[in-house]
Chains A and B, each alone.
Chain A
Amino acid sequence: MSLSRNLSITLICLILGVMLSWQYKSIQNNKKVASSQAGTLYTLQEELLAEKTKNENLRARNQELEEQVSKYINAEGNNKKIEESLMEEIQRSRTLAGLNDVVGPGVEIVVDDGDYSNVMDTHLLVLINEIRASEAQAISINGERIVAMSEIKMTNERTSPHIIVINGRQMQAPFVVKVIADPDKLSNSLNMLEGIVDRLRDYYGLEITVKKMDKIEIPKVHDDGSVLKYNLLNPV
């Protein structure tokens, strides 16, 4: 009698133990699966968003091309008109490449050495990148047009002021950065609290002024073969 009772209690305890451990494991597992799924969900959402903006931009480009093609179709037989359209397109590509002098509204930024610090290549790199992020259409530094392959190089860190090379030309502070862009939008994003102007002024100790302009003229890149090199590029 007492043996069977003991036996049954032992059995029940055994089952209980197994269940407990199983329970623990299953809950732990559920948690892990849930958190990894939430992570996957998040990255997928991000990827989808990125892909959608990409496609929007592609769509815009495609529409632009379709309009160009229909321009040529409509002008069939009219040689003068076709030549005009072609010239227009050449000009647009040249403008984008930085091969035309251009004028438009924008902002003039002057960056100068502070009392204790000098302008470095990275300061200018970050500034130009911020300017591009505010949809700038043309940029020059001390008269050098910033094109796709323009480098910003510091020759020697020990000289004061630093010597900076842009498009192969040496220059020193002050740096006059001319930008054609929406003046309000650009100056707002540059002057933002903790923005690039704040950082260069307060954190790096440089002098910097931003001035909105109705009309800014930006010269074309030197087209003497010293800046624009494309001898190693084969069109596909």
Chain B
Amino acid sequence: MLILTRKSGEGIKIGEDVRVVILETKGNQVRIGIEAPKGMKVYRDEVYEKIKQENINASVITTDHMQKLFKIWTDKGMKS
């Protein structure tokens, strides 16, 4: 891993198209600005893990849950 030291306002260029700028540091938090081409996805690296974990949580459904959903749907007047 390449490790660089930067100050607020300084940046890093990755290839031709990507620019990362350190906007502000405050305690143990760093605000970062990222300029990247529109088609390039930039997201916090925990997003994938969070969605994966949520999918795993969601996959443990039972027929009992399905019946409860039906009951909630009818009880809450969601039925049009």
A binds B: no
Where the two chains meet, the residues of B that have a C-beta atom closer than 8 Å to any C-beta of A are none
